[in-house]
Structure 1
Amino acid sequence: MAEPSIGDRTERRAHDRADDRAAVDDEVVRFTSELIRIDTTNRGGGDCRERPAAEYVAERLAEAGLEPAVLESAPGRANVVARVAGSDPSAPALLVHGHLDVVPADPSQWRVHPFSGEVRDGMVWGRGAIDMKNANAMVLSVVRAWARAGRRPRRDIVLAFTADEEDSAAYGADWLVREHAGLFDGCTEGISESGAYTYHARTTGGDPVRIYPVGAGERGTAWLRLTARGTAGHGSKTDPGAVNAVSELAAAVTRIADHRWPVRLTPTTRAALTEIGAAVGVKVDLEAPGFDPQFDVDAVLERLGPAAALVRSTVRNSTNPTVLDAGYKVNVIPESAGAGVDGRMLPGAEEEFTAALDELTGPRVDWEFAHRSAPLTAPVETPTFAAMRAALLAHDPGAHVVPVCLSGGTDAKQFAELGITGYGFSPLRLPPSLDYGALFHGVDERVPVDALRFGTRVLDAFLSAVD
């Protein structure tokens, strides 16, 4: 029998690639849907069960020839870690991590049941479709495609699917870092959620522009507990010398809410302002001779138009009161009152944050950190960031890839304790009609099928090429 010609072999390889592309396209949608159907609602305080999702992920990885470890930090609180061996043992390993838990969802408020994973109108619907079972599905699809094709990345890829990110990470990444640090040996960088999605803006001339913000830093988490103590008594009494805990707390909460934090520009946010400005046609030269470090950043944000939303929350620290807890009966003055405040701290501004809270709370209100994690910053002039940029632009030419500091936090904070530099990179190409930010923890969370397929292509390109 004659050997196949070069043309025949080329045609066969093209056919195989098309078949595998179709398999990846099918798997990423199916895996997203099936993961959503596994209810991993995290209500906080330890009330969550990720184990069924962890077993699902482990089964998909085992089918690809990997040896995943399912690690429970407490009954039902499971994590999965696996390593994909790279072709160059001397290269540093790369961590790819995503959380398995989701925030609560009230089915009565949704058009589609939040745990149905229904595919409708070109979208996969349900809690976790954006945050972040979609990204977990993309990772699973890509590594399974590698296994089918016999491909290997250059660097070892450590996969971590974690519990408890939507609370304190105590049962997830924090526990893994403390109890199983050896699983991450060799990892110098990592990627996870909240970056590389399409943000639609317009130039100053009105032309549409596509921006892909990649996370290169995070504000630190500072969840605060405020406590005011006063004189208990009957609600009808008037005592000039008494201290009313509720009014003292209310005054402190108002001062905190009204506080105008000073501008603090991190290297990442400086780069973001410059590059977003270039994308929309606004010159922002923060390195110019004679640059005034006290410049009016709010005026610059105004000129950036809608794209300013990518950086507005990260030019300052912030404190938002979120919880009030006082009293038990209208005619009883309580002896104490409490409040919760969601605070966020920029890199380098932590001392400023604590000093301001001491002043804002005043002498009659105590405060403490209920949960605290450090802010992060990641360099952008690196081969890794360049590879992320190149992978996105290869699949969406004409777009703009910019670094941003994330206003919130991710498990990257925990993995940073192992010296792992974290980036937000979960690629999605989204239509202008879809408000990505509103879908996080929102009603009718959903992700376009086409966005998932785009994400697998970009993720594959990045993980295959990154040095």
Structure 2
Amino acid sequence: MSEVATICSELLRIDTTNDGSGDGPGERRAAEYVASLLAEVGIEPVVFESAPRRTSVVARIPGDSPDALLLHGHLDVVPADPAEWRTHPFSGEIADGCVHGRGAVDMKGTLAMTLAWARENARRGVRPRRDLVLAFLADEESTGEYGAGHAIERHRDLFEGCTEAISESGGFSWYEGDVRVYPVAVGERGTAWMRLTAHGVPGHGSKPAVDNPVAELARALARLADHPWPVRLTPEVARLIDELSRALGRPIDVDRLETEIERIPRAAALFKGVLRNSANPTMLDAGYKVNVIPGTAEAHVDGRFLPGQREEFLETVDRLLGPKITREFVSFEEAVSSPAEGLFDELTAALLAEDPAGRPVPYVMTGGTDAKWFARIGIRGYGFAPLLLPPDLDYFGMFHGLDERVPAEGLEFGVRVLDRLLVAPS
């Protein structure tokens, strides 16, 4: 088995579940494993913790130019229930040509590619074309405060010279019929995680309610969930649709996008989640006894907004919630975008060097990554975790889903693409 698959398997066997409470196993064991792999080939790791067991690793590889490129990824994963999986989510089992486990796609497979590439080049004594900063971070699956947030606030010197970065959620193969495209992320929707609170008058559950906060909050959440957010075609998404039209050899009508989504469902998966802002209620907390009307009720909402849409999004949320509901941010991060040129051209060239039949296209992520934290210190981010996947593997469905797995050959492809990107041609 290849080194990249072995590293991926070993990482998956380390439970780094992050449920957002801070009480999980933490990232320390995975960070120590990563640090040992780097140190073994002479790459000096810097290991630090933001809190007990919330551990990150950063290392710099000198290159031919001091202009540094940041390669960052997260060590933590979302929870997984073994009873729902065909194989245990923390087994790291290698079977049927795939490495299985929670985090195979999101994103220990990518970390394994970075480590395998770095170790091989260190053994060969090859210098990259520019300085590289490798960051293996805690806490991305929550707010990022214990990982990237802590890193830029307390260890900013480790990122000296970095102006651009690559990380997860881009560079993978995606199919519409026999056309194979590679979406490379140039932007992310902004994040607005909100806690909503309704205040009312407590009382006996058998009596007419004076002001029931549970009912008030339920009505507000229904308005929010049912709101038909309008299409807002940003320049990044418009370019994606145009590039997809060229790749497919047929125009995509931007005035009839709902019809187009039905006509080309696979290709449309790349843009249908970034046509609008969104706000999804995800958690409820109210009351303590069935016959008592409580004085307060709370809910959490996952809000996302497109680049340039922050004010419209917040104004719409406040209108839908109404005057009786207060909101506060649990986490707020601005939408980010990077130019589809410069480093973007280097990323697409590296993909085409390994897969000349592929069609790289710009892409905007529906969710978010640690790229938002690094944007705060002037580092532009791109989603680029190159994978060659079979057409029947549901890449999007495996993010936070069941039976997450990644083909070993896909990981090996990613290592070769990284080498094309990071090392000057001989």
TM-score by length of 2: 0.97
Residue matched to 1:115: 90
Encode CA deviations 1:386-426: one digit per residue, 9 max, x unaligned: 11111111212212111111000001110111100000000
8 Å Cα contact 1:253/1:361 also seen in 2: yes
- Verify: 1:378 aligned to 2:348, yes or no: no
CA contact (8 A) 2:197 2:217 kept: yes
1:149 has 2:108 as partner:
no
Q: Counterpart in 1 of 2:48? A: 71
Q: Name the residue aligned to 1:424.
A: 383
1:244 corresponds, among 196, 212, 215, to 212
1:353 aligns with 2:323: no
C-alpha separation in 1, matches of 2:421 and 2:2: 21
Please tell me the residue identity of whatever aligns with 1:438. Answer: G
Corresponding residue for residue 326 of structure 1:
286
**Counterpart residue type for residue 10 of structure 2:** E
Matched, 1:308 2:276: no
SS of residue in 1 equivalent to 2:180? strand
Q: What is the rounded CA distance, in whole Å, between the counterparts of 1:59 and 1:452 in structure 2?
A: 21
- Higher mean C-alpha displacement, 166-175 vs 363-372: 363-372
Q: Distance in 2 between matches of 1:267 and 1:371?
A: 26
- Partner residue of 2:237? 269
Q: Secondary structure at the match of 2:2?
A: helix
Is the counterpart of residue 33 in structure 1 residue 29 in structure 2?
no
Alignment of 1:402-413 (within 5 A): 402-413=361-372
One-letter code of the match for 2:82? P
Q: Of the candidates 206, 209, 227, which is equivalent to residue 259 of structure 1?
A: 227
Tell me, yes or no, if the aligned pair for 1:278 and 1:284 is still in contact at 8 Å. Answer: no
**Do the aligned residues in 1 keep the contact of 2:68 with 2:131 (CA within 8 Å)?**
yes
Indicate which of 179, 184, 188 corresponds to 1:218: 188
Taking the aligned partners of 1:271 and 1:458, their CA distance within structure 2 comes to 24
Distance 2:232 2:392 in 1: 33
| d(CA) in 2 for partners of 1:81, 1:351 | 36
Deviation at 1:279, TM superposition (A): 1.5
**Residue of 159, 163, 168 corresponding to 2:134:** 159
Pairwise mapping of residues 173-252 of structure 1 onto structure 2 (< 5 A)?
Answer: 173-202=148-177, 208-239=178-209, 242-252=210-220
Query: Number of paired residues?
Result: 424
Aligned position for 1:462: 421
Deviation string, structure 1 residues 211-248 (Cα, Å, up to 9, x no partner)? 11111000011111111111111111125xx1111111
| Alpha-carbon distance in structure 1 between the residues aligned to 2:122 and 2:104 | 25
Partner of 1:393: 352
Q: In the alignment, residue 449 of structure 1 is paired with which amino acid?
A: A
Q: Which letter does structure 1 place at the counterpart of 2:52?
A: P
Question: In 1, Cα distance between the equivalents of 2:16 and 2:299?
Answer: 28
- Given that residues 152 and 464 in structure 1 are in contact (C-alpha distance below 8 angstroms), is that contact kept between their aligned partners in structure 2? yes
Partner of 1:452: 411
Structure 2: segments with no counterpart, 5+ residues? none
- Name the % identity: 57
**Paired position in structure 2 for 1:52:** 29
Contact 2:138 2:144 in 1 (8 A): yes
SS in 2 for 1:273: helix
Task: Spell out, residue by residue over 1:77-101, the C-alpha distance to the aligned partner (whole angstroms, 9 max, x if none).
Answer: 1110000101123xx2100001001
Q: CA deviation at 1:439?
A: 0.8
Shift of 1:353: 1.1
1:12 — aligned with what? none
Structure-1 residue corresponding to 2:39 = 62
2:72 corresponds in structure 1 to 97
Long gaps (5+) in structure 1: 1-24, 203-207, 287-294
SS in structure 1 at match of 2:423: helix
1:252-288 residue CA offsets vs partner (Å, 9 max, x unmatched): 00110111222222221111010112122232588xx
Quick one: structure 1 residues 364 and 285, their matched pair in 2 at CA, closer, same or farther if it must change by over 3 Å? closer
Cα distance in structure 2, aligned partners of 1:350 and 1:465: 41
- What's the counterpart of residue 295 of structure 2? 335
Which one of the candidate residues 78, 88, 93 is aligned to 2:65? 88
Q: Measure the CA separation in 2 of the matches of 1:285 and 1:200.
A: 19
Question: Bigger shift: 267-276 or 295-304?
Answer: 295-304
Q: Counterpart of 2:389 in structure 1: which amino acid?
A: L
Match of 1:130 in 2: 105
Instruction: State the distance in 2 between where 1:413 and 1:392 align.
Output: 25
Per-residue CA deviation, residues 54-92 of structure 1 (Å, 9 max, x unaligned), is 111111111121111001111111110000101123xx2
- TM superposition score normalised by structure 1: 0.88
- Backbone CA RMSD of aligned residues: 1.5
Answer yes or no: is the 8 Å Cα contact 1:277–1:304 preserved in 2: no
Is the contact made by 2:176 and 2:264 (CA closer than 8 Å) also made in structure 1?
Answer: no
Q: Is the 8 A contact 1:197 1:428 kept in 2?
A: yes
Paired letter, 1:222? A
User: 2:207, 2:54 → 1: CA distance?
Assistant: 51
One-letter amino acid of the counterpart of residue 453, structure 1: E
Contact kept, 8 Å, 1:220 with 1:346, in 2: the verdict is: yes
CA distance in 2, matches of 1:358, 1:88: 49
Q: What is the aligned partner in structure 2 of residue 21 from structure 1?
A: none
Structure (1 or 2) with the larger CA radius of gyration: 1
Shift of 1:460: 1.2
Q: Which residue does 2:304 correspond to in 1? A: 344
Q: Which residue of 2 aligns with 1:171?
A: 146
Q: Does 1:435 align with 2:387?
A: no
Indicate the larger mover: 38-47 or 340-349: 38-47
Contact 2:253–2:260 under 8 Å retained in 1: no
